Amino acid sequence: MGQKKDLTGSEKSKIVRYLAEGCSSLKIAKLLKRDHRTIKRFIQNSQQGRKKRVEKPRRKITAHELRKVKRAAAKMPLATSLAIFQSCNITGVPKSTRCAILRDMAKVRKAERRPPLNKTHKLKRQDWAKKYLKTDFSKILWTDEMRVSLDGPDGWARGWIGKGQRAPVRLRRQQGGGGVLVWAGIIKDELVGPFRVEDGVKLNSQSYCQFLEDTFFKQWYRKKSASFKKNMIFMQDNAPSHASKYSTAWLARKGIKEEKLMTWPPCSPDLNPIENLWSIIKCEIYKEGKQYTSLNSVWEAVVAAARNVDGEQIKTLTESMDGRLLSVLAKKGGYIGR
pLDDT tens for each residue of 182-212? 999 999 999 999 999 999 899 999 999 999 9
Q: In this predicted structure, what is the pLDDT of residue 13?
A: 83
Cα separation values, 79 from 72, 84, 103, 107, Å: 9, 7, 14, 11
Across all residues in the chain, what is the average pLDDT? 88
Distance CA 115, CA 111 (A): 13
Distance CA 187, CA 230 (A): 14
pLDDT average, residue stretch 117-138: 94
Which of 5-14, 52-61, 285-294 shows the lowest mean pLDDT across its residues? 52-61
Q: Is the pLDDT of residue 160 over 60?
A: yes
pLDDT tens for each residue of 319-338? 999 999 999 999 999 998 76
Q: In this predicted structure, what is the pLDDT of residue 318?
A: 96
Q: Is the pLDDT of residue 129 over 80?
A: yes
Which residue, 291, 285, 275, 276, is CA-closest to 154? Answer: 291
Share of the chain above pLDDT 70, in %: 91
Q: In this predicted structure, what is the pLDDT of residue 48?
A: 64
pLDDT category at 57 given cuts 50, 70, 90 is low
- The residues near 204 (Cβ < 8 Å, ≥ 6 apart) are 240, 241
pLDDT category at 46 given cuts 50, 70, 90 is confident
Q: In this predicted structure, what is the pLDDT of residue 137?
A: 95
pLDDT category at 298 given cuts 50, 70, 90 is very high
- The residues near 155 (Cβ < 8 Å, ≥ 6 apart) are 110
Q: In this predicted structure, what is the pLDDT of residue 302?
A: 97
> Which position has the higher pLDDT, 170 or 7?
7
Q: How many residues are present in the chain?
A: 338
Q: In this predicted structure, what is the pLDDT of residue 175?
A: 62
pLDDT tens for each residue of 66-112? 999 999 988 888 888 999 999 999 988 888 888 888 888 888 777 77
Share of the chain above pLDDT 90, in %: 57
Which of 48-52, 135-139, 170-174 shows the lowest mean pLDDT across its residues? 48-52
Q: Is the peptide bond before 77 cis (omega within 30 degrees of 0)?
A: no
Of the spans 14-28, 82-96, 170-184, which averages the highest pLDDT? 82-96
Q: In this predicted structure, what is the pLDDT of residue 247?
A: 96
Which residue, 299, 318, 271, 285, is CA-closest to 182? Answer: 299
Cα separation values, 3 from 44, 45, 64, Å: 17, 18, 61
Q: In this predicted structure, what is the pLDDT of residue 1?
A: 45
Q: Is the pLDDT of residue 127 over 50?
A: yes
Distance CA 329, CA 338 (A): 15
Q: Is the pLDDT of residue 308 over 70?
A: yes
**Measured CA angle at 51 (ends 47, 57), to 5 deg:** 165
pLDDT average, residue stretch 17-23: 84
Q: In this predicted structure, what is the pLDDT of residue 140?
A: 97
Q: What is the pTM of this model?
A: 0.70
